[in-house]
Amino acid sequence: MQAVLSQNCYGKSSVRFAKIMRRPNYHDFKEVSVNIQLEGDFEKVYAEGDNRKVLPTDTMKNTVYVIAKEHALNSIEEFGQALAQHFLQNNPQVSCARIQLAEKLWQRVVTGESYNAHPHTFISAGNEKWTSSITLTRDKLAIESGIENLLILKTTDSGFENYIKDQYTTLKETSDRILASDVNMHWRYTSANIDFNQCRQTIRQTVLDTFAQHYSYSVQQTIYVLGKAVLEKCAKVTEISFVMPNKHYIPFDLARFGMENRNEIFIPTEEPFGRIEGTVRRSLE
């Protein structure tokens, strides 16, 4: 039997850095985590232990810090492209560089009676993260961006009715319920010539506006409505995918205490939860 290497990649994961951009009157602050994976002519490395074409993963880590020092870091998409280009330009044995980035968000603290943003004091924006995935080959560049852990909730304008009921169904229909989700979404661009920060802000605000303003018949329908709204608003997005866990809030039974629960008191539950996914893309017609 002859064995052949059919696929390979290697790299460094969870390379974290923080950077202060010191402006004349204020500071900007970024905190980013980077995953790097390289593919290429590494068959002899695997099959023969010949390391002459291996770029050490420790070198990849150091490269992140050096390029972070030199780069303006206006967006994680631009920074990821700079990293990918560096690895391909300096390593002829590499055919593809994949860079995944996640930015932890920090916001300026608002202080004083005038509620001004403090020039160098920040507060965490919670669990929300901005993400990007850069795939660069010798002849093609693909960029995805996303938002993770966008926790949203509406107290009405949501229901769930007319679903299948079998011998195991206990869920009661409702036309008025809490709808909450820890939204993860990512999208593809039509090109790389984009203001990535502006596009992300537009998508984020479109999702929030649409979620707030429409009546949800199901999480599935909400995903389609959100995706359609994003495509209508952002011409440079070709498709958008959502993962929306349904974070359940169960009405508490107050009848046992002689009281009526008018959709006021709920028990938040973490598990089990519904997980709904969907991708909305532009029609090929």
Catalytic residues: 12, 57, 248
Q: What three-state secondary structure class fits 205?
A: helix
Q: Which residues contact 16 (CB under 8 A, 6 or more apart)?
A: 31, 32, 33, 34
Closest CA to 145 of 204, 207, 86, 200: 200
Reduced to 3 states (helix: H, G, I; strand: E, B; else coil), residue 147 is: strand
Nearest alpha carbon to residue 217 among 208, 225, 207, 209: 225
Integer Cα distance of 158 and 140 in angstroms: 43
CA dist., res. 179 & res. 166, Å (int) = 24
Cis peptide before 268 (omega within 30 of 0): no
Inter-helix orientation angle 57-70/76-90, to 10°:
130
Contacts of 246 (CB under 8 A, 6+ apart): 179, 180, 181, 219, 273, 274, 275, 276
